[in-house]
Amino acid sequence: MISRVTSSSMTQSSLRQLQANLSELARLQEQASSQRAFATVSDDPAAAATALGLHAAQRRGEQHARNIDDALAWVTTADSALASATALMNRVRDLTVQGANDGALDATAKEAIAVELEGIREELLSVANTRLLGRSVFAGTSDEAAFDAAYAHSGIPGAEVVRRISDGGSVRVDVDGAEAFGTGAGSAFALIDSIVADLRSGTNAGPRLAEIDDRLTALRGAHAAVGSRQAQVERAKEVAVQNSVSLEARRAAVEDVDSVEVLVQLQAQELVYRSALSVTARVLQPSLMDFLA
């Protein structure tokens, strides 16, 4: 059976084809101007879902990057403070060794050592109260200074400052001042006061060397722990940068278009559309029926 093709059906078919070509041309023009592979979710639901997941991963990565920068600031500050504290305690040890030489030093010389030790104690106390953005790095979550005038520690046991640096990893960024410097009568500050009192009273300060060594051991242990955490944070920073680059590359592969490829397709589609217009104009010539209708 032979189908009858009417002028009306030819017109409708031609118009549908022209509209399809025009829609494709508009889509390519939108891609060329926006540089995006799709404008709405309905254009490509699978790609849109992938893009949403990648954007969420990027936001988590950005938050981790901020946490890492903050963590680095904490551990770097603590590392510098502990290095200074260790150097000060080493000086305390040297001065104590000098002061213990009763045969070579008179009261005036011992007083000079005592005065220097008092200055070191004040400096050491200042180091122990080091703050970062208003927070003490040796007092945990407490907002107060780590040590008061009586050498009491303000930190709460177990109240650590922690930063999440990856989806599955967190790191402590503060230092327990009580462990590093001691507290009260057992603190490094009180120990220096005791050495000063020995020097001024004529008591030999030599036996204090063992106590100084104990405090130095505590400081070095805290310093080593901070150094280990600092290395962990720096490794996390490297991983975060690599993940950021990888996620951006994957997002671009899903959402962005190849500019050269789109321009080539756009030019080809423009040629197709113009050809279709030309052909349609030739095929759909006015006839007598158009004027009689």
Paired strand residues for 147: 153
For position 292, what pLDDT does the model report? Answer: 52
Tokens 């030599």 correspond to: 206
Low-confidence stretches of the chain (pLDDT beneath 70): 1-11, 14-15, 18, 21-41, 43, 256-266, 269, 272-273, 275-277, 279-293
- Which residues, other chains included, contact 280 with Cβ-Cβ below 8 Å and sequence gap of 6+? 14, 17, 18
Distance CA 139, CA 156 (A): 8
pLDDT at 50: 86
Q: Are residue 26 and residue 101 in the same domain, yes or no?
A: no
Same domain, 110 and 246: yes
Tally of domains in the chain: 2
**Predicted local confidence at residue 291, as pLDDT:** 47
**Whether residues 149 and 267 fall in one domain:** no
pLDDT at 262: 64
Domain-located, residue 2? no
Q: Is residue 177 part of a domain?
A: yes
Residue 236 shares a structural domain with residue 271: no
For residue 40, is it within any domain? no
CB atoms closer than 10 angstroms to residue 59 = 10
Co-location of 156 and 286 in the same domain: no
Instruction: Return the closest-CA partner of residue 284 out of 21, 5, 2.
Output: 5
The answer to whether residues 225 and 181 belong to one domain is yes
Distance CA 224, CA 219 (A): 9
How long is the chain?
Answer: 293
State the pTM of this model. 0.75
Same domain, 186 and 286: no
Q: Which residues contact 113 (CB under 8 A, 6 or more apart)?
A: 95, 98, 99, 105, 199
Expressed as residue numbers, the domain containing 16 is 10-35+257-292
128 plus 263 within the same structural domain: no
Task: Specify if 94 maps to a domain.
Answer: yes
- Indicate whether 184 and 268 sit together in one domain: no
Which pLDDT value is given to residue 266? 63
